[in-house]
Chains A and B, each alone.
Chain A
């Protein structure tokens, strides 16, 4: 079955540091890949997505590239801010009427 493996957290970084959160997946088909973010006290929000190999999703300075050869979708940001502190979830969705499969989430804390 489909699965998502996400690096364990928590991750603590200083402001302006470089961020990488690793995500790898297993899927039988050609899924769409997502990063969701959950800010404290709020629900999930879609951060970015990629629907096919070599696509790069980007938003708010974050980006992730769909790598079919390594089955990965690592999240990166060049310079994090305190306001980026949140829990980040990697997810995939097969085509068709299937729900998302989520990773366990990675908590990011950015300190000033």
Chain B
């Protein structure tokens, strides 16, 4: 079946550093990828929609300068948390929509647990 690979699965970094998270669709082309953040005991929150070859669309309240999204190819989207702070510690998940658009094909990465010290 279709697979979305997300790396790293876990990262610990110092406050002020930047962290890049990659989301790859391994066997299909994804014109659209979504980035979610999961807060403890809460549901996933959509951060942004990433479209291949164009700028990402950010949800209200999400700082675009802090959470840089690049969808440079049909199989790769990256989320960079710039100048990370402890409050950015969270679980980040990407999902990718199959380009064919047949039926409902949405695949999730395994998530990245970010801990900022």
Q: Do A and B make up one complex? A: yes
Residues of A in contact (CB 8 Å), total 18
> What's the A-B contact tally at a CB cutoff of 8 Å?
44
* Docked complex Cα distance between A99 and B51 (Å): 12
Q: Mark B36-60, 1 if CB is under 8 A from A, else 0.
A: 0000011110100100000000000
Of chain B, the residue at the smallest CB distance from A105 is: B43
Q: Given B43, B107, B110, which contacts A103 in the complex, CB threshold below 8 Å?
A: B43
* Contact assessment for A43 and B106 in the assembled complex, using a CB-CB cutoff below 8 Å: no
B108's partner among A45, A49, A103, A104 (CB-CB below 8 A) is A45
Dominant secondary structure of chain B at its interface with chain A: strand
In whole angstroms, what is the CA distance A45 to B93 when docked?
11
A102 with B43, Cβ < 8 A, contacts A43-B109, A43-B111, A49-B104 known: yes
Given contacts A97-B49, A99-B49, A105-B42, 6 further A-B contacts (CB under 8 A): A43-B111, A89-B43, A100-B34, A100-B46, A104-B42, A104-B43
| A interface, CB within 8 angstroms of B | 32, 36, 42-46, 49, 51, 89, 93, 97, 99-100, 102-105
